[in-house]
Structure 1
């Protein structure tokens, strides 16, 4: 089973440009409680290095490109985001790291929950232990 779940957003193009449409309750599989974006990213540094107990996310590279490493504790996959009309779904309990940002990268994320530090797992060994515990209670 692939960890990568891409969502293709509807687009409408004409000579003036392209409009991409994202509607809550239709295109996103959860209620959007928070939207954030990062830009001005170092092309040499990585971000992420965490998983969430409950939060789900859709990441969209609005400009430029970047890579994602997704890891559910059993399978690791790398995916490149480089299209403003595709979103990468990151489900709960998936470790994720972002890297190889292009100089013009603008990465926007829609999240299912408001920020709650207690929902973050920031230690990889702890993440693996949580995955093991969930599989063998």
Structure 2
């Protein structure tokens, strides 16, 4: 999988190995480069369905496959990168102004998202053509 700091970045989190079960920790401003204001998770995604399909103007997110696997496709309107998330000790940092789509959820997959901001509908761009127009005008 390709990585670009402008499109997304996989971050390895600390993994403490223990015969009783492993432990991973994520601390804001240490492992995750922002204060976490909201946490949510997506699960029981039916086969063939996708999630995401939006961009944020301000909110950065850190996406983790805490169980199972799924792919995340990121684009800035010019470059496109697809990441397979399948390790609970890794997460994908998604910056602002990046369109994301989550697909190919395995059975039992759980997607955990740590978000920089509380929910604010005005922060979302939910239509891809609106997103492309936003990115065009922002670059001028």
Q: State how many pairs are aligned.
A: 136
TM-score scaled to structure 1, two decimals?
0.96
Which 4+ stretches in 1 moved above 2 angstroms?
A: none
The structure with the greater share of residues assigned to strand is 1
Alpha-carbon displacement from aligned partner over 1:35-72 (angstroms, at most 9, x marks no partner):
00011111211111100100000000000000011011
Q: Which runs of 5+ in 2 are unaligned?
A: none
- Are residues 1:75 and 2:92 paired? no
2:29 matched residue in structure 1: 25
Q: Return the alpha-carbon distance in structure 1 between the equivalents of residues 48 and 117 of structure 2.
A: 29
Matched position secondary structure for 1:61: strand
- Are residues 1:133 and 2:140 paired? no
- Are residues 1:14 and 2:18 paired? yes
CA contact (8 A) 2:8 2:95 kept: no
Q: Return the alpha-carbon distance in structure 1 between the equivalents of residues 18 and 131 of structure 2.
A: 46
Q: Return the alpha-carbon distance in structure 1 between the equivalents of residues 47 and 11 of structure 2.
A: 25
Per-residue deviation, 1:4: 2.7
1:4 matched residue in structure 2: 8
Matched position secondary structure for 1:17: coil
Q: Which runs of 5+ in 1 are unaligned?
A: none
Matched position secondary structure for 2:137: helix
1:102 matched residue in structure 2: 106
